[in-house]
Amino acid sequence: MAVRTLKRIDEYRMELPETYAPGMKVKGVIYLDEELERGLEDKAIAQVANVAMLPGITGASMAMPDIHMGYGFPIGGVAAFSMDEGIISPGGVGYDINCGVRLLKSRLTRQQVSPRLRAVLEALFSMVPAGVGSKGRLRLSRQELEKVMTDGARWAVREGMGDAGDLERTESGGMMEGADPSLISMKAYERGSAQIGSLGSGNHFLEIQYVDEIYDEEAARKLGLSRDQVTVMIHTGSRGFGHQVCTDHLEVMERAVRKYGIELPDRELACAPVGSPEARDYIRAMRAAANYAWANRQAIMHWTRQAFMKAMDPGPEGLGMETLYDVAHNIVKIEEHPVGGRTVKLAVHRKGATRAFPPGHPELPAIYRETGQPVLVPGDMGRASFVLLGTRRAMDETWGSTCHGAGRVLSRHEAVRRAKGRSIFRELEDRGIIVMSAGRETLAEEMSEAYKDISNVVDVVQGAGISRKVARLRPMGVLKG
């Protein structure tokens, strides 16, 4: 009989030994300090253990300090599977395929933007649609949408929305090869045709920020960050398109589980062997949705620049707004990692986790080869966000992965209940943060108390050595769905 014991390894790590639950093939590791441990959900722990039972899992079933319960895999989950005996699971990516973050840096200062902040937000609100079911400014034909699926952010740049510098500073160059539009359902086409360039709702946002703290002066200089500098963070993904791709392929995977005789502790972990037709089809469709998300953030970035130009009138050179980096939070990638003294290919699932490759990694653009990969970690709209860098320890310990955000502590329903009778707009404005939103309920769902303190989460990954702090960004103005 298994002994269900969660053990603390050190100040920043906890372990679920293989004896934690029957069927575990590897241990579980959760990155938490004692303060964050107090909020750890039993269901999220169970999900870490469940992932450890999947065929071909390699190393450990891991979760970052922003862990909370998700669909199948926990949010914050990281797991790698062998190409010979492993599986591909849509639950290890999630419904919002390539939900991610893009950070723009500028030549503007907090002092320059503050007097015009409301005008900038109004311009953004008019140019970047947000909210449930929101549609972008473009209407794409089927042929155009297929180009988005195969070319990602490169399609947007060809259409005049950005330049080659944006692509260089985007994970995977803003495009994953091997996407196959023929695997996309008509319903996904319908949902995706009108949503390029839109934020959506929920935890997605566009935030005007300023750099208020620098922890590593040399690294910040190399990234082009300085105190009081204005930045813009864009957090969104593949919208209804990616959601439909996930839905369609989960149905296929549920049949595949029976076909291949895979035993699962939870049906939400529906999967198929890596080399199976079902897994190959999902990977190609997922890449199409990932490319859609990169095109979406590229288009939003373009209209963000236009909004600042309209409201600030600084001239293109004065604005100096360019991509610092763009990262994916929900994705599966075939990557090379050392295992048992040799380099092997693995199917690395990151579900609410950020790639954090170290200095010198060949996949990094030349401009970041010396520093390591920028890691962008958004917090809630009332506190802060962070810029980190990837480390060698992350490569050795977590398949080059780290946290992706703050992580919820309240359900959306509970957050709305606790916000009853309060004005979240007013509370934020009293703290110097102007918010524009398509709906009041979204603000209640996304209030600061609904999330862990991002500073605690970042301190854990820094303390564990799987990424290192460079700068803290404070919110000035927020656009929400």
* Per-residue exposure over 318-336, b if at least 16 CB sit within 10 Å of its own CB, e if not: ebbbbbbbbbbbbbbbebe
Per annotation, catalytic residue among 235, 329, 404, 413 = 404
Whether 361 is catalytic? no
Domains of the chain with CATH codes: 7-92 (no CATH), 100-480 (3.90.1860.10)
pLDDT tens across the length of the chain (481 residues): 345 689 999 999 999 999 999 999 999 999 999 999 999 999 999 999 999 999 999 999 999 999 999 999 999 999 999 999 999 999 999 999 999 999 999 999 999 999 999 999 999 999 997 766 666 677 889 999 999 999 999 999 999 999 999 999 999 999 999 999 999 999 999 999 989 999 988 889 999 999 999 999 999 999 999 999 999 999 999 999 999 999 999 999 999 999 999 999 999 999 999 999 999 999 999 999 999 999 999 999 999 999 999 999 887 678 999 999 999 999 999 999 999 899 999 999 999 999 999 999 999 999 999 999 999 999 998 899 999 999 999 999 999 999 999 999 889 889 989 988 888 888 888 888 999 987 777 888 888 888 999 999 999 999 999 999 999 999 999 998 7
What distance in Å separates the CA atoms of residue 349 and residue 92, rounded to the nearest whole number?
5
* pTM to 2 decimal places: 0.95
Distances (CA, A) of 223 to 259, 360, 369, 371, 415: 50, 16, 12, 8, 36
